[in-house]
Chains A and B, each alone.
Chain A
Amino acid sequence: MSEFTAIRVLWKRELLRFVRAKSRIAGSLGMPLFFLLFLGTGLNSAFSGTTGNYMEFIAPGIIGMVLMFSSVSSGMIVIMDRQFGFLKEILVAPISRLSIVAGKIFGGATTSILQAAIIMALMPFLGVSFNLSGMLAAFAFMVLISTAFVGLGIAIASKMEDMHGFQLVMNFLVMPLFFLSGALFPLNNLPGWLKVLTLIDPLTYGIDGMRGALTGSSAMPFWVDFGVLALFCGAMFALGAWLFTKKNS
């Protein structure tokens, strides 16, 4: 019971911090909006020979980008909690390490989904709109993507001393995962080596799943997308919890 209360209050803390950091929210919306507006509009014409429009094609990819970037960042914020001392306050409290990680992951996932929801709400103004049932199905994928990547962020944070490695992780892990996920280009007709890389990238399944739900066309069946992503999500939750506990016991 008290473990449940602890998870809830740590989740609430993430939310409070999120709504207070208005400039951070505004800042995080910039990149995805410019991607949609400039890249989307720019390549729309190049795409025009094929079926569908490019803006609609990358919209799920951009949602995936927002989710992954903000989730990994919020997982890695554990480092700041350590440096500013608040982590100690949580660590001496009579609650399990697993509850701390769970609170962090649910909090980070919630704030990531809120950011993605803001982008989705702005999409109709750019001429992209989805139906409600599609959005509900996409929501399941959004939960899995954000949970998985907060877990990954916590796992990475548990291996790092300070925030200096943050850019390294962003540029050499998160960026490649984004580019290889099929967020910006279709997965069929790729050269063999690239195809293999896209299939290794777990985000691929999340974005393909959301694209299937939102636009009705996906490269892989729903259950493949959902199954792979669910497995990855479970694995990252466990990895984050394990490394965090190991680091802080």
Chain B
Amino acid sequence: MKYAIETDKLTKKYGELTAVDALSLRIRRGEIFGLLGPNGAGKTTLISMLCTILEPTSGKAKVNGFDISAEQSSVRKNIGIVFQDPSLDDELTAWENLDIHGALYGLSPQDRKARAESSLKTVELYDKKDELVKHYSGGMKRRLEIARGLMHAPAVLFLDEPTIGLDPQTRRHIWDSVKKMNREKKVTVILTTHYIDEADALCGRVAIVDRGKIVACGAPSKLKKKGESLEEVFLRLTGNEIREEKGSSTQTMRARMRAWNK
């Protein structure tokens, strides 16, 4: 079993809209793999199916050798995920968030303590462990989510736009931790990002996804024509028009809350 991810004609339809269209993909163990694509291309839908929170309409997929429909529980034990939208409990401290996470993944109290400590140190938040998460900055929250995603030592880590809205220093820091995890613990990393040059520097291979299909897949150096940047490849393959993405109720609600808090 040398693949961390194997999908076979994986499809998700929402009524008329096909978000993921018979997508077949293989990601080897230990890879850092980038999913690139315009808004609404189906990246998040694909990741949601792979981490069992969305049932595919048709097709099959395996994560670390486990079927995403028939072996949900085994899939969940083997993955860590940092969602596109924040998913921390703001009313709790960083430490409490990690402790709950560890318990949900069946770690013993001693393991929870040791792993929470080491993962907080990895993202350099250990000295802030007893602060309520609501007092954290955006970048700190993101780092905490990455620490949490890694805490139960998953075989596969999904990062859905982990660096969106962060300053270059924080982004660099996050990517460094990701590289370190990949190198030291052999974690397979699947990430999505709009910072194409970061994906270029970080990923062994990337897939450019558009309208639910893969339009190109391979090492960034192989996708580039002479003198082209990966971003130019991206635009050449996906066009220049701006995509509209329908906001979920969550996003609408968040936008409203932000307006309210101003």
Contact = CB atoms under 8 A, between A and B. Distances in A.
B104 A86 contact: no
B81 A92 contact: yes
B130 interface: no
Given A89-B101, A92-B79, A94-B73, A84 B86 contact: yes
Contacts of A8: 103
Given A92-B79, A92-B81, A94-B73, A13 B105 contact: no
A13 B106 contact: no
A16 B53 contact: no
Contacts of A94: 73-74, 76-77, 104-106
Query: On chain A, which size bracket covers the interface?
Result: 20 to 34
B53 A88 contact: yes
Contacts of B76: 92-94
B88 A9 contact: no
Contacts of A87: 87
A85 interface: yes
B44 to A, nearest CB: 12
Given A16-B92, A83-B250, A86-B89, A92 B53 contact: yes
Interface in A48-104: 82-95
Contacts of B99: 9
Given A17-B92, A83-B253, A161-B249, A93 B86 contact: no
Given A5-B106, A6-B104, A85-B83, A162 B88 contact: no
Given A88-B87, A92-B76, A249-B55, A13 B250 contact: no
A85 B51 contact: no
A231 to B, nearest CB: 32
B131 interface: no
Contact of A92 (B51, B91, B249, B250): B51
Nearest to B85: A85
B96 interface: yes
Nearest to B51: A92
Contacts of A21: 91
Contacts of B83: 85, 88-89
Contacts of A16: 91-92, 96
B25 to A, nearest CB: 20
Nearest to B109: A5
B229 interface: no
A20 interface: yes
B103 A162 contact: no
A111 to B, nearest CB: 13
Contacts of B101: 89, 93
Interface in B62-82: 73-74, 76-77, 79, 81
A162 B249 contact: yes
Interface string B89-131: 1111000100111011110000000000000000000000000
Contacts of B92: 13, 16-17
Nearest to A81: B89
A249 B76 CA distance: 14
A84 to B, nearest CB: 7
B39 interface: no
Contacts of A171: none
Contacts of B88: 85-86, 89
A85 B87 contact: yes
A2 interface: yes
A82 B250 contact: yes
B245 to A, nearest CB: 18
A91 B53 contact: yes
A86 B87 contact: yes
B57 interface: no
Nearest to A21: B91
Interface in A138-162: 161-162
Given A89-B101, A94-B76, 17 more contacts: A1-B106, A9-B99, A12-B100, A13-B100, A17-B92, A20-B132, A21-B91, A82-B250, A83-B249, A83-B253, A85-B83, A86-B89, A88-B53, A88-B87, A92-B76, A93-B105, A94-B73
Interface of A: 1-2, 5-6, 8-10, 12-13, 16-17, 20-21, 82-95, 161-162, 249
23 contacts: A6-B103, A6-B104, A8-B103, A10-B100, A16-B91, A16-B96, A17-B89, A82-B250, A83-B253, A84-B86, A85-B83, A86-B89, A89-B88, A92-B53, A92-B79, A92-B81, A93-B101, A94-B73, A94-B77, A94-B104, A94-B105, A94-B106, A249-B55
